[in-house]
Amino acid sequence: MNHFYIFLAFITMLFTCSPASNVDEPLVKTTQYAIYKDKVVQGKDTAFVKSGQHIVSNYISPASQTYSNFIKYKFSINEKDNELPVGEDHWVVIEPDMKEAPTVKFGEKPEAPSNIEPKMLPPNYTFTFRVDVSDVLNAFKSKGFFETLDGSRIAESDFKGFYIAGNAEPLSWDFVNLDNKKMKLQPTSNPNIYEITLVLNPYDDKVRDIKEWKQSLALEQAPKFSSDIPLVDAMFNMSMEEAFKTIEPDSTLRTGTKWAGVWTRDVSFSTFLAFAYLYPENAKISLLKKVKRGRIIQDTGSGGAWPISSDRTIWCIAAWEIYKVTGDADWLNTIYPIIKNTLEDDDKTLRNEETNLYCGESSFLDWREQTYPKWMDNKDIFASYNLGTNAIHYQARRILTEIAKIKGDSFEKYETEAESIKKGMNHHFRLPETSFYIQYLYGRNDMIPSQRFEALGNALSILFDVADPEFAEDVIDNAPTTAYGTSCIFPQIPDIPPYHNNAVWPFVQAFWNLAAAKTENDAALTHGIASIYRPAALFLSNYENMVASTGDFKGTEINSDRMLWSIAGNLAMIYRVFLGMSFEIDGLHFDPFVPHAFQGEKTLTNFKYRNAVLDITVKGHGKKITSFLLDGKTMSNAVISHDLVGHHTVEILLQADATSYSHLNAFEN
């Protein structure tokens, strides 16, 4: 695997540029793009920062120019993946002037494609798909139900329709939203044949070459940020505006422009990154929407929900963060039994006493073939042990330990459980031949390690202190980094379309950046911040994901702008990295890390912390605090007490520390 040539560009940039001196010099320069104080340039595409409230971008997705004529698809009953086994799809190569695919029979095993040489399909290509559903309809008539390949029965009275899913826009593998995407087939003159006509490679030639974001909301009660880097100011203002727009009429936090409602993991990761300290009441309401019978609701995953997917305990981390921010005793009383009930259920169902690990699907990586071998079914995924999921289970038990101490209850059991998980993680996920934690253990008769790198799990293991400081540095130092960011997994899985595979997710990048800041790796953090700012500026919104190989927002299986956790990740770069905020029981701690490329003065005003309002200024770069002033007085610790009242100023002076280092393990994707 060849090292990617941006590494030398980064080293040159980090040690030869004077990033604060000239707007014509790039802050960050790679072979793919460059970030300046007032613009982002990627080939012929540029996002110009006119001011902190105005960005103009001429970016147009190149996806329509690379749209393949090799289409994979399968049919569905009632928006379920229930026609063919995982990894088996119908397919068609659309030749010139071809207007329809051959009619296939529902459930019939397709021939495997061979010697396919895909070509580009022209934009706005009208094409028809047909399916013979006679077996399904005959079963309804004779038995009153149809039995799918996994043995599930669909009663005739429950039948909603036939749908199509696939790998090329407007087709999607997002089965649960096929009806919303208008992927329902219609009957033809032959009652056994259903069809749908779609416009493949959709492209709107009326899309303007120049698009812009202008701040439209005053947000007078919100904190205000300013620096000597207009791009950073614009990223803050755009993300703060998008954060406010996520608040629904019922006071919950919307998941994204295209995704209504509250999702456990989305709102929980978002709450930790930003919403606990920006909109704690909305975060509370949203979290409580994901509680039933005094227990946390698990998001859907490969197997439907808990216990195959078992990362619902990320809720505990979000709920605890709100308490540390607000000090709200009533909130603590509310979340204590919910966390305790949930963890007790998990102990009975998920815990393996031999490994000291908890089974279940990868946290957030919940789309089976995107990160698991095709032969693995839901039972196999349930029986596996994932790095990120166990990091969350570990931290949840540490939190329950702390809450029990506050309440004066017995805590030793939870403390012991947490230490057991940590021991199990370091024994099973940390191998001599790898310089980072492995992805998961999997198998049937014997568990074997998947030595693929998983970004979120490694980041959480560093942030939650599963990794000792020396190994944490090794992880950041040696983890593979691609041109457009730290991909969810590495290496990518061949022949699997981008989503979790071959993708960069800004919220994952944000957690990776927090881990890089903790280990004081300037190069990794610089590249990580650039990997969040580049797409947000060019795309004029905080999209959920992008293709790792192209950096484009089009081409992944599902995507949306104004995504809650992407917004939170962008804002965390200001609050948690540049300003270094960390909320603890005793107060607001500061541990900023400003990379060399982003050096300069940064000021946040009107930040509300409990009963205090803070105006905070950070000067310089690096991680070493040389002075910490509260209202002009030197303080011995960089901490604001939880009982501080009134309006105050905080000034932090940084100096590059000789112990900080810069290394980026850049790879070809």
Helix or strand run (H / E) with residue 506: helix 506-518
Exposed / middle / buried, residue 171 (Cβ in 10 Å: 0-12, 13-18, 19+): buried
pLDDT by residue (tens digit) across 224-255? 999 999 999 999 999 999 999 999 999 999 99
Task: Give dist(CA 318, CA 508) in Å, integer.
Answer: 16
The least confident of 4-8, 99-103, 203-207, 216-220 is: 4-8
CA–CA distances in Å: residue 228 to residues 37, 57, 149, 437, 625: 8, 21, 61, 38, 20
The position carrying tokens 């038995």 is 143
Q: Supply the DSSP string of 296-355, one letter for each residue.
A: EPPPP-TTSSTTTS-GGGHHHHHHHHHHHHH--HHHHHHHHHHHHHHHHHHHHHHEETTT
Residue with more model confidence, 268 or 151: 268
Arithmetic mean of pLDDT, 110-126: 91
Is 163 exposed, middle or buried, given 0-12, 13-18 or 19+ CB atoms closer than 10 A? buried
264 pLDDT more than 70 = yes
What's the pLDDT score for residue 668?
76
- Stretch (H or E) spanning 662: none
Q: Could you tell me the pTM of the whole model?
A: 0.88
Dist CA 37 CA 27 (whole Å): 7
Taking the domain 588-655, which CATH number applies? 2.60.420.10
What pLDDT does 6 receive?
Answer: 42
Residue 206 pLDDT class (50, 70, 90 cuts): low
CB 609 within 8 A of CB 585: no
d(CA 606, CA 533): 24
DSSP designation for 273: I
Measured CA to CA, the distance from residue 538 to residue 508 in angstroms comes to 19
Residue 613 has what pLDDT? Answer: 99
* 234 Cα distance to chain centroid: 22
- Residue 92 to residue 600: CA distance in whole angstroms: 56
- pLDDT of the residue at 661: 65
Please determine, for residue 663, whether its predicted confidence score (pLDDT) is greater than 90. no
Q: Tell me if 592 sits within 8 A of 654, measured CB to CB.
A: yes
List the structure tokens of 93.
């190569």
Q: How confident is the model at residue 621 (pLDDT cuts 50, 70, 90)?
A: very high
**What CA–CA distance (Å, rounded) separates 453 from 669?**
13
Q: What is the rounded distance in angstroms from the CA atom of residue 257 to the CA atom of residue 264?
A: 17
Tokens at 652, concatenated: 């932090």
Band the pLDDT of 558: cuts 50, 70, 90: confident
Instruction: Give pLDDT, residue 1.
Output: 41
The per-residue pLDDT for 89 is 93
Average pLDDT over residues 373-380: 88
Residue type, 170: P
Q: How many residues does the chain have?
A: 669
**pLDDT number for residue 4:** 41
pLDDT in the model for residue 304: 65
Asked if pLDDT for residue 357 goes beyond 50, the answer is yes
Phi, psi of 511 (to 5 degrees): -65, -40
pLDDT tens sequence across 91-112: 999 999 999 999 999 999 999 8
Domain boundaries, the chain: 1-57+224-249+483-492+501-512+520-578, 68-200, 290-479, 588-655
- Asked, as a colleague might, if the bond just before 62 is cis with ω within 30 of 0, I would say no
Give the percent of the chain with pLDDT over 90: 81
- The pLDDT tens digits for 297-353 are 998 776 668 898 999 999 999 999 999 999 999 999 999 999 999 999 999 999 999
Helix-strand-coil percent breakdown of the chain, rounded to 5?
Answer: 35, 25, 40
Three-class secondary structure assignment of 60-95: CCCHHHCCECEEEEEEEECCCCCCCCCCCCEEEECC
User: Are both 290-479 and 588-655 of the same fold?
Assistant: no
Least confident of 50-59, 74-83, 114-123, 288-297: 114-123
Topology classification of domain 290-479: Glycosyltransferase (1.50.10)
- At residue 377, the pLDDT reads 86
Q: Is the pLDDT of residue 20 over 70?
A: no
Average pLDDT taken over every residue of the chain:
93
Q: Which two tokens stand for residue 170?
A: 């407007």
535 neighbors 42 (Cβ within 8 angstroms): no
**8 has pLDDT over 70:** no
Helix (H) or strand (E) holding 458: helix 455-463
